[in-house]
Amino acid sequence: MYCKSRKQEFKQLQILFIYQNIQTQSGGGSYDEAGNQKKIGKWVELDEEFNYNKQVTYNGKYKRNGLKVDRQDTSFMCQYSKNFVQMQILQKKNIQWWGMDHMIKKEMRKRLDDGQIWITSFILQKDSFIMVNLIRTVCKQ
């Protein structure tokens, strides 16, 4: 787990945030062994404009090839709890619309039975899915 930067090699990066002589570990993670600066494992990254008033972090995992995997969470320092709180919760849900598809097909047949040509491109598949992202902002007092 090394990272070559100029003349130094790093196994792991830890970021400290110092405010009023209080040190807090705010971010960091590990690099791969090859030394080509690829992040691996769990990482906590700070926002580009991270400061006392804007404490936003990005938490996620990296594969061995340096690509992000799984869920990437955004957290912020909530003034009420003095802890990092997850800013948004993204959930992907697969919703099967079989009943809706059946009703649409039935309605189209009713409309098109009066002499119009049935267009096959409008026939919807039974297994059609729709992806939905749900976003919630959470800050408990």
Mean pLDDT of 44-70: 78
Average pLDDT of the segment spanning 25-33: 69
**What token pair was written down for 133?**
């992202």
Question: Higher-confidence residue: 39 or 4?
Answer: 39
In Å, what is the CA distance from 80 to each residue of 4, 49, 141?
40, 21, 5
Residue 136's pLDDT is: 44
Six token digits for residue 48: 């580009």
Report pLDDT for 69: 80
Q: What is the pTM of this model?
A: 0.43
pLDDT at 13: 60
- Flag whether pLDDT at 46 surpasses 60: yes
User: Which residues in the chain belong to E strands, given as ranges?
Assistant: 3-5, 8-10, 12-19, 22-31, 39-46, 56-62, 68-77, 84-86, 91-96, 129-134
Spell out the domain ranges in the chain.
Answer: 3-87, 92-134
CB 74 within 8 A of CB 43: no
State mean pLDDT over 31-52.
Answer: 75
Closest listed residue to residue 75, CA positions, set 87, 60, 90, 89: 87
> Tens digits of per-residue pLDDT, 104-139?
555 555 555 544 444 444 444 444 444 444 444 444
